[in-house]
Amino acid sequence: MAQQPEPERAIDARIDEREERLHISIGAICNNNCVFCMEEDREGRYVNNSAMTQQRVRWMLEAHRGAEEVCFTSGEPTTRQDLPEMVRWAKELGYPRISVMTNGRRLSHFPYAAGLAKRGMNRFYVSIHGHDKKLHEGLTRTPDSFAQTVAGLASVARLKRYGVELHTSTVITKRNLPHMAAIYRFLRAQGVDQVVFNVMQANGRADTHFEKIFPRYTEIAATFRRFLDDCDEPPMAFLVDIPLCVTEGIDDFNRGYVERYRHFDLESQVDLPLGDRAVRRAEGGGVGLVLVTREDLDRAERAHRDECRRCRYFTRCEGVWKNYLARYGWDELQPVER
């Protein structure tokens, strides 16, 4: 059997080795107001995430023992007063990695951050979208959010000696794309282990404000490539959720991918084909939940074209957001021949 081209084999190996994570959506509200937030239906989020009672969260944790990671996410999870207790349950149930996706503002209170770590949280994903107040708060549209998030990073950095990992997530927009290198240097100086640059999902507010904030994929990839070229040492920076066909020339180590995950929502909040509902309801353990995966979102909101089938990355590509294609089309997305 002929060997695959080296880039394809490298990407395949990294993606195939991904463990599926469990996401638990608990943040009914958020204390930021990000212009690109994909969760534009805040009323629907409030209904869904408020229904994630301790009983339901406990069921999810018990039903998925053995998963590589559980991540508390959606809205702002630290607004839940019972988050520390949920973290303790996850540790008792043996989850090797317990994480939270957060804007980091509440972590600025060091005893709170330390309390989460003491109960078992060992990775923090902190969302920060600029290296200064003007840039960050122009995107979060929330006064004083920059200082609080940076203080949150400082709190977690103090906990790294106990085995805690600090990662960040920066959503790329037209405003912060030119500052990619400065953002990276700033975050690494704060003690961040991995800096992830996330390309927007073209849904929610990112769709509403698309023309103002969404750069082209090729522009993002070119900027990231220049950033890598200017680094004196291999950077711990990753470009995530962008079609692989536009990232040729970027080292495979730095080409990120979308994690595999499963989470559970109320059936009333999920748009699934009727034929899938009974099966997904059964997965919900009889506590009023249905299973939802990242692949469900991809099938509903992303697309391939016939030409994609001859691309070496086709079997590993999630597709392109339909809302992105409606604005920019396919021209910049050319198959990488096998």
Ordered domains of the chain (ranges, CATH): 21-215 (3.20.20.70)
Q: Do the beta carbons of residue 143 and residue 135 sit within 8 Å?
A: no
Amino acid 3: pLDDT: 42
Tens of pLDDT along 112-145? 999 999 999 999 999 999 999 999 999 999 999 9
What would the mean pLDDT of 168-181 be, rounded to a whole number? 98
What pTM was estimated for this model as a whole? 0.92
- Structural tokens at position 328: 């920019």
Amino acid 1: pLDDT: 34
Tens of pLDDT along 51-86? 999 999 999 999 999 899 999 999 999 999 999 999
- Structural tokens at position 144: 């004083």
* Bridge partners (DSSP) listed for residue 98: 70
Amino acid 13: pLDDT: 52
Q: Do the beta carbons of residue 113 and residue 87 sit within 8 Å?
A: no
Residue type, 232: D
Tens of pLDDT along 271-285? 766 567 777 887 888
Alpha-carbon distance of 64 to 78, in angstroms, equals: 22
Work out the pLDDT band at 17, boundaries 50, 70, 90.
low
Tens of pLDDT along 208-261? 999 999 999 999 999 999 999 999 888 999 999 999 999 998 998 998 767 788
What would the mean pLDDT of 180-193 be, rounded to a whole number? 98
Residue with tokens 């990671």: 69
> pLDDT averaged over the chain?
91
Tens of pLDDT along 27-51? 999 999 999 998 888 898 999 999 9
Amino acid 7: pLDDT: 53
In 3D space, the residue among 176, 162, 67 whose CA is nearest the CA of residue 124 turns out to be: 162
